[in-house]
């Protein structure tokens, strides 16, 4: 398989939509936590659009991650850039971890919500920290490329190529 020069429009759109969806999962998480607590206490809760947004938004993150992995498998992804082998390895591992968490977060959340499994909710709450940490590392890496290495890496996620 030849290595493409850049990401496609679809890959780029899916990247940014997923990032926005993940942001809203964190910003509006309190509604979901409150609904889960009420469920644990056996209480009836009124319909809350923020709970629906959490379930549907998380579901879309899963769908988009699988779609992106399918595109990667079919056409590949541009080569990882970096100053050293260690840096490229770190970037590869970060991307791998982000994909894994974009799958594990919705799966653990769904098992908790639809299956009523407390352990899955605990896993979900632990994984949210790992996802946040990896996103922070990922953004720090992107800014490092942009402002220290000045290799214009962020442009790869802005303009489609190849």
Interface residues toward ligand HEM, by CB under 6 A? 15, 18-19, 22, 25-26, 29, 32-33, 36, 54-55, 58-59, 61, 68, 72, 77-78, 80, 95, 98-99, 102, 105-106, 109-110, 112-113, 121, 124-125, 128, 131, 135, 138-139, 142, 153-154, 156-157
Q: Shortest distance, CB of residue 19 to ligand HEM, whole angstroms?
A: 4
For 7-69, the DSSP string reads --HHHHHHHHHHHHHHHHHHHTHHHHHHHHHHHHTT------HHHHHHHHHHHHHHHHHHHHH
Q: Shortest distance, CB of residue 85 to ligand HEM, whole angstroms?
A: 15
Q: Shortest distance, CB of residue 71 to ligand HEM, whole angstroms?
A: 8
| Distance separating alpha carbons of residues 130 and 61, to the nearest angstrom | 16
């Amino acid at each position: 398989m030849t290595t493409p020069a850049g990401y496609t429009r679809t890959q780029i759109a899916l990247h940014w939509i997923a990032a926005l969806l993940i942001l809203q999962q964190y910003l509006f998480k309190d509604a979901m936590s409150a609904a889960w607590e009420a469920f644990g206490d056996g209480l009836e809760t009124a319909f809350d659009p923020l709970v629906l947004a959490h379930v549907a938004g998380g579901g879309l993150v899963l769908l988009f991650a699988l779609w992106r992995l399918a595109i990667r498998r079919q056409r590949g992804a541009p080569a990882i850039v970096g100053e050293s082998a260690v840096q490229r390895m770190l970037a590869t591992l970060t991307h791998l971890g982000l994909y894994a968490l974009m799958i594990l977060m919705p799966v653990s959340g769904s098992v908790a919500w639809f299956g009523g499994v407390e352990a899955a909710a605990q896993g979900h709450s632990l994984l949210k920290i790992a996802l946040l940490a990896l996103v922070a590392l990922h953004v720090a890496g992107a800014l490092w490329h942009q402002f220290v290495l000045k290799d214009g890496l962020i442009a790869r996620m802005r303009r489609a190529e190849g």
